[in-house]
Amino acid sequence: MRRIRYQEIADELRGRVAEMAPGSLLPSESEMSTEFEASRVTIRRALELMRDDGVIDARQGFGWFVATDPVPQRLERLGTIEAQLGASGLDAVRRVIEFSFETPPPHVRRVLGTGKVLRVKRLNLADGEPFAVVTVWCPARLGQRLSMDDVESHPFHELLDVELRGATQTIGAAIAEPDDAELLRVPTGAPLLKCGRVTTDAAGRPVLMSEHVFPAHRTEFVVELPYDQPSVTPAGLRLVE
Distance separating alpha carbons of residues 222 and 10, to the nearest angstrom: 39
Q: Does 120 bind a second copy (CB under 8 A)?
A: no
35 versus 220: smaller Cβ distance to a second copy:
220
Q: Does 210 bind a second copy (CB under 8 A)?
A: no
Distance separating alpha carbons of residues 66 and 226, to the nearest angstrom: 37
Give the shortest CB-216-to-a second copy separation in angstroms: 4
Residue 166: its H or E element: strand 164-175
Distance separating alpha carbons of residues 9 and 90, to the nearest angstrom: 48
Q: Which of 24, 60, 68, 229 binds DNA (CB under 7 A)?
A: 60
- Which 159-178 positions form the footprint of a second copy (CB under 8 A)? 164-175
- Which 28-47 positions form the footprint of DNA (CB under 7 A)? 28-31, 37-42, 44-45
33 versus 84: smaller Cβ distance to DNA:
33
Q: Does 24 bind DNA (CB under 7 A)?
A: no
Q: Does 218 bind DNA (CB under 7 A)?
A: no
φ, ψ at 215 (rounded to 5°): -70, 130
Q: Among a second copy, DNA, none, what binds residue 42 when CB lies within 5 to 8 Å by partner kind?
A: DNA
Distance separating alpha carbons of residues 124 and 67, to the nearest angstrom: 38
Q: Which of 90, 97, 140, 216 binds a second copy (CB under 8 A)?
A: 216
* Region near DNA per CB under 7 A, out of 54-62, 108-116, 209-217, 219-227: 54-62
Burial 32-67 (b: 16+ CB within 10 A, else e): bbeebebeeebbbbbbebbeeeebbebeeeeebbbb
Whole-angstrom CA distances from 31 to 26, 28, 39, 84 are: 10, 5, 10, 50
Whole-angstrom CA distances from 83 to 89, 104, 147, 164 are: 10, 29, 22, 17
Binding stretches for a second copy (CB under 8 A): 1-4, 18-22, 24-28, 63, 71, 74-79, 106, 109-111, 113, 164-175, 189-194, 197, 216, 219-236, 238, 240
Binding stretches for DNA (CB under 7 A): 4-6, 26, 28-31, 37-42, 44-45, 58-64
